[in-house]
Amino acid sequence: MRLDINLATRPYEDAREFWMRWGLIVGVLGVLTLALLVFAVRGWTEAGRDRHEIARLQAEIAKRDQERSQAQGYLDQAVNRSTRDQSQFLNGLIQRKAFSWTRVFEDLERVMPSDLHVASLRPEMNEQGQMQLDMKVIGDNRSGVVELVHRMEGSKHFQQAQLVDETQEADHGIVASVISIYVPDSPEKSGK
């Protein structure tokens, strides 16, 4: 018996090798897809928890804002206005009295480069109730002023230090304005 096989119409294929190669690639991609899907679902559930926490905090903030507006409305009444004004005046006096010039100059001494000196220093409360220092410093060159701002940024007592203005004067060298938020030590930390 004679078999005629025409290899041109049906060439031999090794299907086992094909499925071993591509099956492995498809399997790895499937595992990777499953891992990414698990990661996405976990992120989505965590984001849901965060959304609930944000909503809770926003509700709490709204409640506090409402309480504050009610208290402000109570203080704005004509009967209570004098008490409010007197209270604000006394609180301002207490804040000014609590300001320690000695402590400010001690903290400035730690950050002040040797080629600079303070020409003027003006403390004032900003809108957020923080003590803001507005100072003019005099030095030989600009590098000392830049060094002062960098040192203030690295200090725990001075925050948001900025070089606001600088002018070159023939008799003084450079005169610069620097502002910074001053954060004194709390009374517990300072030993009082």
Kindly state the average pLDDT of the residues 129-137: 86
Please state, in angstroms and rounded to a whole number, the distance separating the CA atoms of residues 38 and 163. Answer: 50
Q: Given 33, 66, 98, which residue is the final one in a domain? A: 98
Are 128 and 152 in the same domain? yes
Are 128 and 85 in the same domain? no
**Among residues 176, 182, 174, which one has the least CA distance to residue 156?**
182
For residue 153, count other CB atoms closer than 10 A to its CB: 14
Are 40 and 109 in the same domain? no
- Both tokens of 150, joined, read 């960098």
**Among residues 33, 15, 34, which one has the least CA distance to residue 23?**
15
Q: What's the CATH code of the domain at 147? A: 3.30.1360.100
- Residue 7 inside a domain? The answer is no
| Secondary structure of 66-78 as H, E, C letters | HHHHHHHHHHHCC
Please state, in angstroms and rounded to a whole number, the distance separating the CA atoms of residues 138 and 180. Answer: 17
Q: Is the pLDDT of residue 3 over 70?
A: no
Whether the CB-CB separation of 75 and 84 falls below 8 Å is answered with yes
Q: Which of 2-6, 58-62, 166-170 has the lowest mean pLDDT?
A: 2-6
**Range picked from 12-16, 100-104, 107-111 for highest mean pLDDT:** 107-111
Bigger pLDDT: 24 vs 130: 24
Are 124 and 64 in the same domain? no
* Residue 74 lies in domain: 14-98
- Residue 69 inside a domain? The answer is yes
Q: Is the pLDDT of residue 6 over 80?
A: no
- Residues in CB range of 80: below 8 A, 6 or more apart: 74
Q: Given 63, 98, 133, which residue is the final one in a domain? A: 98
- Residue 39 inside a domain? The answer is yes
C-alpha distances in Å from residue 150, one per residue of 43, 145, 189: 39, 9, 25
For residue 108, count other CB atoms closer than 10 A to its CB: 21
Q: Please give the tally of structural domains in the chain.
A: 2
Are 117 and 73 in the same domain? no
Please state, in angstroms and rounded to a whole number, the distance separating the CA atoms of residues 62 and 3. Answer: 90
Kindly state the average pLDDT of the residues 178-187: 79
C-alpha distances in Å from residue 166, one per residue of 111, 132, 159, 176, 178: 19, 19, 20, 4, 9
Are 140 and 176 in the same domain? yes
This prediction's pTM = 0.51
CA-CA-CA-CA torsion sign (47, 53, 56, 58): negative
Q: Is the pLDDT of residue 11 over 70?
A: no
Q: Given 98, 114, 144, which residue is the final one in a domain? A: 98
- Residue 50 inside a domain? The answer is yes
Are 24 and 84 in the same domain? yes
Write down the pLDDT at residue 192: 44
Kindly state the average pLDDT of the residues 167-191: 76
